[in-house]
Amino acid sequence: MNVASEQHVHPLGTHRVIDPPGAMPQSAWKVDNTPVAFENEILCDVEVLNIDSASFKQIADACGGDEAKIEEHVLGIVRERGKQHNPVTGSGGMFIGYVSSIGERIRERMDLKPGDRIASLVSLTLTPLHIEAITRIDVATGRIWIRGKAILFESGLWAKLPADIDENVALAVLDVAGAPAQVQRLCKPGQTVVVIGADGKSGLLSCAQAKARVGPEGVVIGVAPSKATPSARVLEEGGFVDHFVVADARNALELSETVAAVAPELADITINCVNVPNTELGSILCTKQDGIVYFFSMSTSFTAAALGAEGVGKDITMIVGNGYAKGHADTALQTLRDNPRIHQYFDEKYANKG
Ligand code: NAP
């Protein structure tokens, strides 16, 4: 059934919601993924999905890393919900594709035309998606190549892909663009910043931004499960962290004691960039009284964070990692350009994967 034909189209896409009635597209269980643009929508031919890291890890673990099972799992979610909205993690990801058509009501005011290549900057959890076929899965990067179509609403965010950055690299960076942009806003000269999950995509960009912001008087501490990864070497050799701490962030005491060993007064700001659950308390314990924890991770539990901070008597500000910040795409891409060592690492890991 075509839901929109019975109602006025809405800039926020509520005309696409099927279940439950009255929900917003993001919170809806199911949206109408009919691959035709209504008068205020953009229809895209999708090439590749960048599945959110927490979501892809959960799906890959549930499927034992088997590509055929991952394919069936993802197709099943999209069949059932009309969008790639992982019901376990609640998270999505983003896509790269070509503009196929633009609804007549918004055509004139969009700086966009059919054939333009764009990355979506809104989550797949609210993006109507129609998959004809999955053509390739890269388990190492959480990337899924498809033949299919997606709808962007009038209110949806997108970015034209930059000419100077490999498009697969741009996709990886834009997926986590909120993190470096928020770090740039939050961190101040002289502060101590702890980045948990420092050797992942958002972690690397956050460390680079934090180091630039805190300056020579400040301290950046990167936390990851191992020193042996190529990205851990980038962090240390590139000088993006003052200390690299090996710890399992799910072990709150071990993490905070290891951090306290290098920063006895603890962090002014802790940035949580992990892709696993149960790291709220560790983040809280790493942070000094009156400090800030920025939970970028999609595995964050509000309950665990709120009750955890109360339980240990920490009067701290905890920020939900809004995926959007004004200018976040430009900030994230510029962070990459400004830091050739990190750019090189992203190129090695994500470029030419198509
Ligand atoms: P990523 O590249 O997969 O990085 C995840 C990092 O977490 C890796 O460095 C990983 O280390 C580390 N990690 C995993 N388990 C850990 C543990 N027990 N202790 C310490 N570190 C651990 O992920 P990403 O793409 O940067 O995304 C990071 C998080 O942000 C994910 O939860 C993702 O879903 C979320 N996200 C949020 C938004 C938003 O809008 N807020 C947008 C996009 C993504 P190893 O690689 O060494 O295992």
Which residue lies with its CA nearest to atom 46 of ligand 1?
200
Residue-wise pLDDT for 104-134, tens only, equals 999 999 999 999 999 999 999 999 999 999 9
> Do 149 and 192 fall within a single domain?
no
Strands laid side by side in the 243-246 sheet: 243-246, 219-224, 192-196, 267-272, 287-295, 317-320
> Do 155 and 190 fall within a single domain?
no
Cβ of 224 below 6 Å from ligand 1: yes
262 with 221: CB under 8 angstroms? yes
210 within a domain of the structure (yes/no): yes
The structure tokens listed for 164 are 């100077």
Q: Which of 126, 161, 196 is the last residue of a domain?
A: 161
286 within a domain of the structure (yes/no): yes
Residue-wise pLDDT for 147-200, tens only, equals 999 999 999 999 999 999 999 999 999 999 999 999 999 999 999 999 999 999
Q: How far is the CA of 299 from the centre of ligand 1 (A)?
A: 9
Q: Which of 161, 186, 213 is the last residue of a domain?
A: 161
Q: Which of 97, 128, 161 is the last residue of a domain?
A: 161
Q: Which of 164, 211, 159 is nearest to 183 (CA)?
A: 211
Q: For residue 228, give every residue at least 6 positions away whose Cβ sits within 8 Å of its Cβ, in sequence order, or none.
A: none
173 within a domain of the structure (yes/no): no
> Do 305 and 214 fall within a single domain?
yes
Q: How far is the CA of 49 from the centre of ligand 1 (A)?
A: 17
Q: Locate the ligand 1 atom nearest the alpha carbon of residue 198 and give its number.
A: 9
pLDDT of residue 12: 96
Q: How far is the CA of 4 from the centre of ligand 1 (A)?
A: 37
Name the pTM for this structure: 0.92
Which residue lies with its CA nearest to atom 8 of ligand 1?
200
pLDDT of residue 2: 47
Distance CA 287, CA 177 (A): 24
pLDDT of residue 162: 93
Decide if pLDDT at 290 tops 80.
yes
Confidence of residue 8 (pLDDT cuts 50, 70, 90): confident
115 within a domain of the structure (yes/no): yes
> Do 9 and 149 fall within a single domain?
yes
168 within a domain of the structure (yes/no): no
Mean pLDDT of 134-156: 96
Decide if pLDDT at 354 tops 90.
no
pLDDT of residue 353: 53
Give the three-state DSSP class for 143.
Answer: strand
Residue-wise pLDDT for 198-236, tens only, equals 999 999 999 999 999 999 999 999 999 999 999 999 999
Distances from the Cα of 124 to the Cαs of 3, 55, 90, 128, 228, in angstroms?
A: 20, 11, 10, 8, 33
Distance CA 118, CA 254 (A): 43
pLDDT of residue 5: 52
> Do 109 and 219 fall within a single domain?
no
User: Which residues span the domain enclosing 84?
Assistant: 4-161
Decide if pLDDT at 59 tops 70.
yes
> Do 217 and 298 fall within a single domain?
yes
> Do 44 and 112 fall within a single domain?
yes
154 within a domain of the structure (yes/no): yes
170 within a domain of the structure (yes/no): no
- Number of domains observed in the structure of the chain: 2
Decide if pLDDT at 138 tops 70.
yes
**The domain that contains 309 carries what CATH number?**
3.40.50.720
pLDDT of residue 264: 98
Cβ of 225 below 6 Å from ligand 1: yes
Distance CA 350, CA 58 (A): 20
Which residue lies with its CA nearest to atom 10 of ligand 1?
197
71 within a domain of the structure (yes/no): yes
> Do 46 and 194 fall within a single domain?
no
Q: Locate the ligand 1 atom nearest the alpha carbon of residue 203 and give its number.
A: 26
Q: How far is the CA of 113 from the centre of ligand 1 (A)?
A: 35
Distance CA 12, CA 154 (A): 7
pLDDT of residue 1: 42
**Angle in degrees, CA 274, 90, 35, rounded to 5:** 125
Q: How far is the CA of 342 from the centre of ligand 1 (A)?
A: 16
Q: For the packed helices 178-186 and 328-338, what is the interaxial angle rounded to 10 degrees?
A: 90
